[in-house]
Structure 1
């Protein structure tokens, strides 16, 4: 493969990777990592995480097949930057896997998407209104998946999660009330979704509140035996 063809392949790899990354990258409260994302439901099930690993392996294989020797310096830099971006995904999945050890990760995956959707100035058209509703409705499912994923997180992580969710039901109700006139959604639709999200988040908070005061691993046993919160 010629150098120019390989450089073209790098561009294709970059396009494919960043489109994939926009769809599946974890949400974060850090503005530096904020990107435009396609709409729709998010999935943090074990099966989906395994799919992410397979996708990453395919991207890495494509990247390693590219020989940047002799490329123009800017293209060599691009090649290394894509390698760094791939390493970041590996870090998130397996080196520092917050998805299986930090309950705050799931607060970021549930509430941060809603916050990001609301950074666009109101009023919201039909498309944006539906996306806001989708993100609110997605909250219970993601928290259900967190129960499968989370192991035995350090107590400070649980403490921070409990503090972050203090008063979450009241906050979501106020959000729904303020948001309703700015969207195309009807009041019942929005309020019901917010109430379901608040119930799921409150249960999530209660679970980690109990975790802080129990011996390590005991909350897991209780949850699996039906005696947990």
Structure 2
């Protein structure tokens, strides 16, 4: 790294000067790449990075989220953030300037995580989430697999000890959600092994594991019992202290708007997001009603009644989508793209289908477009084959979810469902739910709604939406970094805006396949940056050069 950049790594408080335009320091584009690499090495690691396979790893291989460890990470992020402002970005061409803004947004998001969100200190669910996956192990086990489970079970008391040590500013809503997840099935089963009657939360899954090891591998019973006992003690600790947990779960209105601009590079405030989503909800709900009227004399779609029938529908859907995007020259499917699977497994629930299953089992097109091809799995595979040192290593959530939602109705309008009656209604149902999420996300993060108010709002606005799916979604949007729930609809609206801008600029020379390929080849940077690159329009990006202190 150049000497000037190294020198800039002195500890500087995070109050970067405001710029009317790009910084005009001395650092080079190579320095930006090095700063980004150092950021990736130094940012707060995910709890899922715990290394249970190394018997010599300290504290069972768990990630250190102590105050001293997080303070050290914060100091390093401040150093890297200050170094960015000494780069000569003003001398770079537009694509590299876009990469600078994308990298800076990544650092701002991490600084927000360290200073405001702090899930390891505020959210008991941060630790509860780590406990569940151990119980999904298929028995019996031998050799290395058995040793891994034994190390995982031995780590459970260490996870609980770390939780009680680090949780110094617990939010009441987070504690209530953690208790719910400890004792109650989520009713959705994201990634859970199928049970006709799911175990009752994390504790129920440990009871399930206890029963299975007692039958197949009784030598593991003491380890399971010790793990289960520590979890029950944590539950009691949460219950006993619930009255003392008074911190708000959301980040607050001012902090939320700061995060939208600096970390998400969204050119909107929370109020503007709600207004945009309200208009989108009205539009898509009206289209749903009109489609229902048009289709009123057609038979209703019925859910698949067996796994075999459901998988035949998925196979037909996959073939139709691939044939369609190729025949109609929508986008390029690279040679490395093979089978991509599907999201929702076939499940027969005593209480009936949840929202996702009620849609998918009738026709897989909505989620297959969104989550498989050309959506998330396809998009992720394209990104995995992107070896750019910056663009291949950034994945903006609004970009990812916005692309997935855009594809649902965009492909419907382009003709993917022709000859498939009533599929349009299902795609509109997805759009209705996406739009209803935005006010839920914004108002929970601003501490204006409780989780239950968000659940009630989304259910009131969305046909077929059940309590379990709505509650799981509300929990995700409250507990993840701000703006996750808005990314679906708002990212889709950004995609539509980009499509309109590019088509208007190119006029008769517009080519749909070229548009989509160019978009995908840009990587998963924030859509505002991709729009600037593809159109040259700086009406959104201009405001991002000015940085403001993070609200406390």
TM-score range, shorter chain: 0.5 to 0.7
Q: Structure 2: how far apart are the matches of 1:154 and 1:106?
A: 14
How far apart are 1:191 and its partner, in Å?
5.0
* 8 Å contact kept, 2:122–2:168: yes
* 8 Å contact kept, 2:210–2:225: no
Structure 1: runs of 5+ lacking an equivalent: 28-36, 180-185, 218-229
Match of 2:125 among 104, 115, 130: 104
Count of aligned positions:
195
Question: Structure 1 residues 129 and 210, CA, compared in 2 at 3 Å: closer, same or farther?
Answer: same
| TM-score (normalizing by structure 2) | 0.30
Question: Structure 1 residues 42 and 76, CA, compared in 2 at 3 Å: closer, same or farther?
Answer: same
* 8 Å contact kept, 1:43–1:142: no
**What residue in structure 2 maps to residue 204 of structure 1?**
234
Q: Can you list the C-alpha shifts for 1:12-34, whole angstroms capped at 9, x where unaligned?
A: 2222222334x71355xxxxxxx
Higher helix share: 1
**What residue in structure 2 maps to residue 32 of structure 1?**
none
* 8 Å contact kept, 1:169–1:198: yes
**What residue in structure 1 maps to residue 73 of structure 2?**
52
- Alignment of 1:88 with 2:109, yes or no, is yes
* 8 Å contact kept, 2:153–2:223: yes
- Alignment of 1:12 with 2:34, yes or no, is yes
Q: How does 1:105-120 map to 2 (within 5 A)?
A: 105-108=126-129, 110-111=130-131, 114=133
* 8 Å contact kept, 2:123–2:167: yes
Which of these two proteins has the greater Rg computed from alpha carbons?
2
- Alignment of 1:171 with 2:205, yes or no, is yes
Question: Structure 1 residues 172 and 7, CA, compared in 2 at 3 Å: closer, same or farther?
Answer: same
Q: How does 1:43-192 map to 2 (within 5 A)?
A: 43-108=64-129, 110-111=130-131, 114=133, 134-151=151-168, 153-166=170-183, 167=200, 168-175=202-209, 188=219, 191-192=221-222
Moved more, 169-178 or 5-14: 169-178
Question: Structure 1 residues 48 and 141, CA, compared in 2 at 3 Å: closer, same or farther?
Answer: farther
| TM-score (normalizing by structure 1) | 0.65
Q: How does 1:213-228 map to 2 (within 5 A)?
A: 214=243, 216=244
**What residue in structure 2 maps to residue 42 of structure 1?**
63
Q: Structure 2: how far apart are the matches of 1:187 and 1:63?
A: 57
* 8 Å contact kept, 1:41–1:135: no
**What residue in structure 2 maps to residue 195 of structure 1?**
225
Higher RCO (CA < 8 A, seq sep 6+): 1
Q: Can you list the C-alpha shifts for 1:170-226, whole angstroms capped at 9, x where unaligned?
A: 4125347779xxxxxx874x65544333222211111112233x4x37xxxxxxxxx
Question: Structure 1 residues 38 and 146, CA, compared in 2 at 3 Å: closer, same or farther?
Answer: closer
* 8 Å contact kept, 2:120–2:167: yes
* 8 Å contact kept, 2:206–2:228: yes
Q: Structure 2: how far apart are the matches of 1:197 and 1:71?
A: 55
* 8 Å contact kept, 2:26–2:86: no
Q: Structure 1: how far apart are the matches of 2:82 and 2:223?
A: 42
Question: Structure 1 residues 194 and 151, CA, compared in 2 at 3 Å: closer, same or farther?
Answer: same
Q: Structure 1: how far apart are the matches of 2:80 and 2:100?
A: 12
Structure 2: runs of 5+ lacking an equivalent: 5-24, 52-60, 184-199, 246-552
Q: Can you list the C-alpha shifts for 1:105-129, whole angstroms capped at 9, x where unaligned?
A: 2223x236x47xx79x99x997777
* 8 Å contact kept, 2:35–2:80: yes
Q: Structure 2: how far apart are the matches of 1:200 and 1:72?
A: 56
Measured on the aligned residues, the alpha-carbon RMSD in Å equals: 4.0
Question: Structure 1 residues 101 and 77, CA, compared in 2 at 3 Å: closer, same or farther?
Answer: same
